[in-house]
Amino acid sequence: MAALFLVQSSPVMVAPWLSLSGRVLVNGNPSFEKVHGEDVWGYGASHLDHSNLFNDAMACDAKIVVPAIVEGCSEVFDGVGSLVDVGGGNGTAMSILAKAFPWIHGINFDLPHVIEVAPKYHGVEHVAGDMFTSVPKADAVIIK
């Protein structure tokens, strides 16, 4: 959980909050872009230390949320042969799902700089791309 708290309290993530009201009242543009000169995803691509911390934080969240999904509503995965996790980060969520449902071909889909450093997991194929351009075909999609 440390990574989750570290990323949320980092200067990179706190700074946009300091100008939020002004951005909303002036023109509605995202304050992150105003503070850092690019959107959060572009910032991650050019600041890999922040990207890694962000993805570690999302992995912490996945370790709590995904087992609850597996335990509480596993029936939604019946008949699913392939599943793509859009914005899946380092693949933690998909690795948990692939272990719980070994018949599913798991696809972890994220930006190239994220996939480049993602660890290998049994039953998970890492695919790099941009969700605003296209998403790999699968029987089902998950966005956590």
**DSSP, res 74:** G
Q: How far is CA 88 from CA 25, 54, 125, in A?
A: 33, 12, 11
Amino acid at 58: M
Domain count along the chain: 1
- Sign of the torsion formed by the C-alpha atoms of 35, 143, 1 and 114: negative
- What pLDDT tens digit does each residue of the chain (144 aa) get? 788 778 877 888 888 877 777 666 666 667 888 888 888 889 999 999 999 999 999 999 999 999 999 999 999 999 999 999 999 999 999 999 999 999 999 999 999 999 999 999 999 999 999 999 999 999 999 998
What's the predicted TM-score (pTM) here? 0.80
- Domain carrying residue 50: 2-142
CATH number, residue 67? 3.40.50.150
* 42 contacts 77 by C-beta, under 8 angstroms: no
